Chain A
Amino acid sequence: MLRVIGKRLALLIPTLFGLSVLLFLWVRSLPGGPATALLGERATPEAVARVNELYGFDEPILLQYFTYMGKLLQGDFGTSIITGRPVLEEFATRFPATIELSIVALIFAIGVGIPLGYMAARHYGRFVDHGSVVLSLIGITIPVFFLAFILKYLFAIQWPILPPDGRQNPRIDATHVTDFYVLDGILTGEYDAAWDAFLHLILPGLALGTIPLAIIVRITRASVLEVQNADYVRTARAKGLMEKTIRGRFILRNAMLPVVTTIGLQTGLLISGAVLTETVFAFNGIGSFLRDAIFELDYPVLQGFIIFIAILYALINLIVDVSYTIIDPRVRVQ
């Protein structure tokens, strides 16, 4: 197994290499450049030329690429043009926020999605089933930003029971150790800060978790429906096994395979949802940072970010594959 994992990790290298070439060409084929974003609306053509020279944007693209990759291989993701800080440092300060948010979204999606999908299948054709199908359909069709907006308007402005924006009430003087605010509050014993940070996660977490939730409900339902009519389940019933055992060991476990795949894919997709959710909730994670980078064509940030996400995605896929073997020993990672 370890060898397989090693092999999969090694395969990442050519994948990332190919991706980096495509990405580099793509980012630089966007019209314009960061110079005007940096210099403002009265930039003279000479000033733009000077900035392009300063950052090396006037050099042949191949040369730019090799310079970039050379640095990347040494772990240097470059410096953000807009903020003037190293890209890696920017990521490091902002990723905890997004990860924290994604965890809440996932817990919500999995924690509600699997039981709901399972119940729908168990009560096939009944009210719970129809209800969950309709709900998941709505969940899939509503755009993330719209849902985020509605949630915020209802629960933060119309009935202000939850905070509307940010990661923490700025008036709370909290100590930050890991930059995971909830964790920080618990570690330092500042429980009110942890609680406050948690409250700030609920609305964006719900918004971000809704699409994965809807998808997990559908997949779980379909999968359980299929499995519960399988021959081996019937055989198990005929043999007089306890219903609890049948449901747990035979149905749910076997039905989990496609669900785990879905969860893996959705985890990767959470980041793109975060761009919109974080913007609406002024939640300063990697999503809102990426939004600004796109608007201002901050090349190093865009490149670094996409490479970073590619690595993350590949790792998630690997984890999904490995977890298959745990759920179903017949499946082997190859």
Chain B
Amino acid sequence: MFTSKSARAAHPKRTRAAAITAGAAISALLLSGCVQSQREEDGGAGANGDVDSTFVFAASSDPASLDPAFASDGESFRVSRQIFEGLVGVEPGTADPAPLLAESWETSEDGLSYTFALKEGVTFHDGTDFNAEAVCFNFDRWYNFTGLAQAPSVSYYYNNLFRGFADSPDAAVYESCEVNGDLEATVTLAKPFAGFIPALSLPAFAMQSPTALQEFNADEIGGSSEAPQLSEYAQGHPVGTGPFKFDSWNVGEDLTVSAYEEYWGEQGDVQQVIFRIISDPQARTQALQAGTIDGFDLVSPADIPTLEEEGFMIVPRDPFTILYLGINHKVEELSDPLVREAIHHAIDKQALIDQTLPAGTQLATQFIPEVVDGYNEDVTTYEYDPDRARELLAEAGYPDGFELQFNYPTDVSRPYMPTPEQVFTNISAQLGEVGITVTPAPDVWTPDYLDRIQGTENHGIHLLGWTGDYNDTDNFIGVFFGQEKPEFGFDNPELFGALSEARGMTDREEQTALYEDINEQIAQFNPAIPLAHPAPSLAFVERVESYPASPVNDEVFNLIELSE
């Protein structure tokens, strides 16, 4: 087939081709400098003419879904918040609910019916009107999910907060929605749910265009029962009322949204947002330094001083997090309240914060941050006092201390725990001071660590925490201490009962009082040790004048101010 002649002839060509390639690579290296600077010059005819209105933000992953009702991860919600709005939003800079698409609401006396007065003149990106029909369409849609859409991994927040669907009405919190007029709708609940209004500020309950949901088969999510697949809607046709409309999604690469011209509110400096997907945290920092992105979230505390020195703007969020030292009550020593108290006294939280956590971190005395309802100013605290700790240990029958397994995750960074290894080292040393020797038990975060802590009894003390979803006390302490769990391994019916009662209360004031009381109960029982409320930070290039940082990540990019 091939003659030896042709093979022979091919050879000198190959050397020549190699030389050409090498030459091209070198000239590319030289030329690229010019091209780069050229690009910088022509980037940016903005909305008001003097700023580059394209804003590039690094996301750590693709959104899991463009349909927020079927999402629960931060990156999906970040994108959702640009495209969608809910009936309820949050007061800027806080976690408190505030009117958004609903201008106001009234609650019936039994606390079961909520009548929403809707904002006028709002349209969806497909040109259809936002009205009471659309509100009820969305509520009914969630309630009537069937099959795979009901899976907790798919409609996570609806499952967690509204508990049941149309085919299981006994468990359901939602009952019905009624259109009272073009701009008024009444939602009726089957059982009291004090967190109803704040919950509606979650992107999972944002208002979506009924027309688009139907046209692009938003509820058709499963090709097979083995693995749910995104609907056509969730892959590329999200339609909301927000300041930005969806443009394109290059999976693995970037996602683009651009200003919606008919938006009812202020449009701002940013006309186009590109979410670039950069999964490696180090690569995100470097992209900022190299100027290929305008900002990113969850800056590693270790990088903050350098970035600040280089002139980048660091924006800390108000802490809406809790980092705690978990205690497994199934371990004999740890089931003794005196030992738990001793451990609490042995830990110098302020030193821990100064040495391992980012600036802006607040010391924790309880398991909810200060801005959450039910925060108790007068809660019992345990000052750092190693002598007292040693006394308590002796009293508990361990004058020489004891050995203890200490579980911590490796190679992971969470908003509430940027550097677990450092926290582990710090606390280990402190416990060593009072005679408690720890055996390190590191695991990779997922699935090993989480499985071991949450699914087995095989752990001692451990590091874990939480970032709140919205302003709801139950979303913190209810999640931790609402029922018996392998993580803590204690049974405290009194506490479980109080938390369950508080969750069902309709009167916010009564509920707040009860939560304050529960926080005191927890402080006395010492089921685990609250350490800190770390403040997650964002970093931006110099041209970003201000960024609407929110403790619950409710950050809409039309509020970003740019200088150039």
> Do the beta carbons of A198 and B252 come within 8 Å of each other?
no
CB neighbours of A167 from chain B (8 A): 253
CB neighbours of A56 from chain B (8 A): 226
Q: Taking A48-B455, A171-B56, A279-B283 as contacts, is the C-beta distance between A84 and B230 under 8 angstroms?
A: yes
Any A CB within 8 A of the CB of B228: yes
Q: Taking A280-B283, A282-B287 as contacts, is the C-beta distance between A161 and B226 under 8 angstroms?
A: no
**Cα of A162 to Cα of B25 in the assembled complex, Å:** 12
Closest to A104 in B: B25
**Cα of A34 to Cα of B14 in the assembled complex, Å:** 48
Pairs across A and B, CB under 8 Å, 9 listed: A32-B450, A36-B447, A44-B485, A85-B251, A114-B14, A171-B54, A202-B25, A202-B28, A291-B279
**How would residues 96 to 117 of chain B score, 1 for a CB under 8 Å from any chain A CB and 0 otherwise?**
0000000000000000000000
Any B CB within 8 A of the CB of A37: yes
Looking at the complex, which one of A84, A94, A156, A161 makes contact with B228 (CB distance below 8 Å)?
A84
Looking at the complex, which one of A34, A51, A291 makes contact with B151 (CB distance below 8 Å)?
A51
CB neighbours of A44 from chain B (8 A): 454, 485
Looking at the complex, which one of B28, B274, B280, B286 makes contact with A171 (CB distance below 8 Å)?
B274
Any A CB within 8 A of the CB of B244: no
Q: Taking A35-B447, A51-B152, A170-B254 as contacts, is the C-beta distance between A292 and B32 under 8 angstroms?
A: no
Any A CB within 8 A of the CB of B168: no
User: Which residues from 37 to 94 on chain A have a C-beta closer than 8 Å to any C-beta of chain B?
Assistant: 37-45, 47-48, 50-51, 54-56, 67, 78-86, 90, 93-94
CB neighbours of B54 from chain A (8 A): 171
Chain A positions within 8 Å of B, measured between CB atoms, are 1, 31-45, 47-48, 50-51, 54-56, 67, 78-86, 90, 93-94, 107-108, 110-112, 114-115, 152-153, 155-157, 160-171, 176, 195-196, 198-199, 202, 248-249, 252-253, 279-282, 284, 288-289, 291-292, 295-297, 300, 325-327, 329
CB neighbours of A288 from chain B (8 A): 252, 279-280
Closest to A253 in B: B11
CB proximity of A60 to chain B, nearest CB, Å:
15
User: Which residues from 8 to 34 on chain B have a C-beta closer than 8 Å to any C-beta of chain A?
Assistant: 8, 11-12, 14-15, 17-19, 21-22, 25, 28-29, 32-33
Q: Taking A38-B153, A47-B152 as contacts, is the C-beta distance between A84 and B65 under 8 angstroms?
A: yes
CB proximity of A100 to chain B, nearest CB, Å:
13
Number of interface residues of B (CB under 8 A): 79
Q: Taking A31-B447, A202-B25, A282-B280 as contacts, is the C-beta distance between A248 and B8 under 8 angstroms?
A: yes
> Which of B17, B152, B153, B230 is the most central at the interface, judged by chain A CB atoms within 10 Å of its CB?
B153
> Do the beta carbons of B279 and A163 come within 8 Å of each other?
no
Q: Taking A280-B283, A284-B252, A288-B279 as contacts, is the C-beta distance between A300 and B227 under 8 angstroms?
A: yes
CB proximity of A282 to chain B, nearest CB, Å:
4
> Which of B1, B28, B43, B279 is the most central at the interface, judged by chain A CB atoms within 10 Å of its CB?
B279
CB neighbours of A171 from chain B (8 A): 39, 43, 54, 56, 274
CB proximity of A191 to chain B, nearest CB, Å:
11
**Cα of A34 to Cα of B228 in the assembled complex, Å:** 14
> Do the beta carbons of B447 and A282 come within 8 Å of each other?
no
CB neighbours of B282 from chain A (8 A): 280
CB neighbours of B25 from chain A (8 A): 108, 202
**Cα of A304 to Cα of B105 in the assembled complex, Å:** 52
Closest to B453 in A: A41
> Do the beta carbons of A79 and B29 come within 8 Å of each other?
no
**Cα of A165 to Cα of B479 in the assembled complex, Å:** 39
Q: Taking A84-B64, A164-B292 as contacts, is the C-beta distance between A79 and B56 under 8 angstroms?
A: no
**Cα of A284 to Cα of B278 in the assembled complex, Å:** 8
CB proximity of A110 to chain B, nearest CB, Å:
7
Closest to B20 in A: A111
**Cα of A32 to Cα of B452 in the assembled complex, Å:** 9
CB neighbours of B277 from chain A (8 A): 282, 284
> Which of B21, B152, B446 is the most central at the interface, judged by chain A CB atoms within 10 Å of its CB?
B446
> Do the beta carbons of B227 and A51 come within 8 Å of each other?
no
> Do the beta carbons of B36 and A160 come within 8 Å of each other?
yes
> Do the beta carbons of A79 and B224 come within 8 Å of each other?
yes
> Do the beta carbons of A54 and B274 come within 8 Å of each other?
no
CB proximity of A26 to chain B, nearest CB, Å:
16
Looking at the complex, which one of A41, A45, A78, A284 makes contact with B464 (CB distance below 8 Å)?
A41
**Cα of A168 to Cα of B277 in the assembled complex, Å:** 12
CB proximity of A71 to chain B, nearest CB, Å:
9
CB neighbours of A325 from chain B (8 A): 2
Looking at the complex, which one of A32, A152, A156, A329 makes contact with B446 (CB distance below 8 Å)?
A32
The 6 closest A-B pairs by CB, nearest first: A32-B447, A79-B227, A111-B18, A284-B252, A164-B290, A111-B21
> Do the beta carbons of A41 and B15 come within 8 Å of each other?
no
> Do the beta carbons of A164 and B286 come within 8 Å of each other?
yes
Q: Taking A50-B152, A51-B151, A56-B226 as contacts, is the C-beta distance between A170 and B65 under 8 angstroms?
A: no
**Cα of A160 to Cα of B29 in the assembled complex, Å:** 11
Q: Taking A33-B447, A279-B280 as contacts, is the C-beta distance between A166 and B292 under 8 angstroms?
A: yes
CB neighbours of A110 from chain B (8 A): 18
CB neighbours of A166 from chain B (8 A): 253, 276, 278, 292
> Do the beta carbons of B448 and A32 come within 8 Å of each other?
yes
CB neighbours of A81 from chain B (8 A): 227
> Do the beta carbons of A37 and B447 come within 8 Å of each other?
yes
CB proximity of A166 to chain B, nearest CB, Å:
7
**How would residues 280 to 321 of chain B score, 1 for a CB under 8 Å from any chain A CB and 0 otherwise?**
101110110111100000000000000000000000000000
> Do the beta carbons of A93 and B251 come within 8 Å of each other?
yes
CB neighbours of A176 from chain B (8 A): 250
CB neighbours of A295 from chain B (8 A): 446
> Do the beta carbons of A161 and B225 come within 8 Å of each other?
no
Looking at the complex, which one of B39, B274, B279, B454 makes contact with A282 (CB distance below 8 Å)?
B279
> Which of B39, B54, B284, B414 is the most central at the interface, judged by chain A CB atoms within 10 Å of its CB?
B39
Any A CB within 8 A of the CB of B509: no
> Which of A40, A48, A84 is the most central at the interface, judged by chain B CB atoms within 10 Å of its CB?
A84
CB proximity of A31 to chain B, nearest CB, Å:
6
Looking at the complex, which one of A45, A108, A115, A300 makes contact with B15 (CB distance below 8 Å)?
A115
Known pairs A39-B156, A81-B227, A167-B253 / 4 extra A-B pairs, C-beta < 8 Å: A34-B447, A36-B446, A155-B29, A170-B56
CB neighbours of B455 from chain A (8 A): 45, 48
Closest to A56 in B: B226
Closest to B479 in A: A42
CB proximity of A15 to chain B, nearest CB, Å:
26
Any A CB within 8 A of the CB of B229: yes
**Cα of A164 to Cα of B289 in the assembled complex, Å:** 10
**Cα of A312 to Cα of B102 in the assembled complex, Å:** 57
CB proximity of B259 to chain A, nearest CB, Å:
16
CB proximity of B271 to chain A, nearest CB, Å:
13
CB neighbours of B152 from chain A (8 A): 39, 47, 50-51
**Cα of A179 to Cα of B189 in the assembled complex, Å:** 50
**Cα of A252 to Cα of B14 in the assembled complex, Å:** 11
CB neighbours of B280 from chain A (8 A): 279-280, 282, 288
> Do the beta carbons of B274 and A84 come within 8 Å of each other?
no
CB neighbours of B21 from chain A (8 A): 107-108, 111
**Cα of A288 to Cα of B62 in the assembled complex, Å:** 12
Closest to A57 in B: B226
Closest to B12 in A: A248
Any A CB within 8 A of the CB of B223: yes
**How would residues 355 to 371 of chain B score, 1 for a CB under 8 Å from any chain A CB and 0 otherwise?**
00000000000000000
> Do the beta carbons of A161 and B18 come within 8 Å of each other?
no
**How would residues 123 to 136 of chain B score, 1 for a CB under 8 Å from any chain A CB and 0 otherwise?**
00000000000000
Any A CB within 8 A of the CB of B72: yes
CB neighbours of A82 from chain B (8 A): 64
**Cα of A194 to Cα of B218 in the assembled complex, Å:** 36
Looking at the complex, which one of B28, B61, B250, B464 makes contact with A292 (CB distance below 8 Å)?
B61
> Do the beta carbons of A165 and B226 come within 8 Å of each other?
no
**Cα of A41 to Cα of B73 in the assembled complex, Å:** 11
CB neighbours of A168 from chain B (8 A): 253
> Which of A54, A82, A115 is the most central at the interface, judged by chain B CB atoms within 10 Å of its CB?
A54
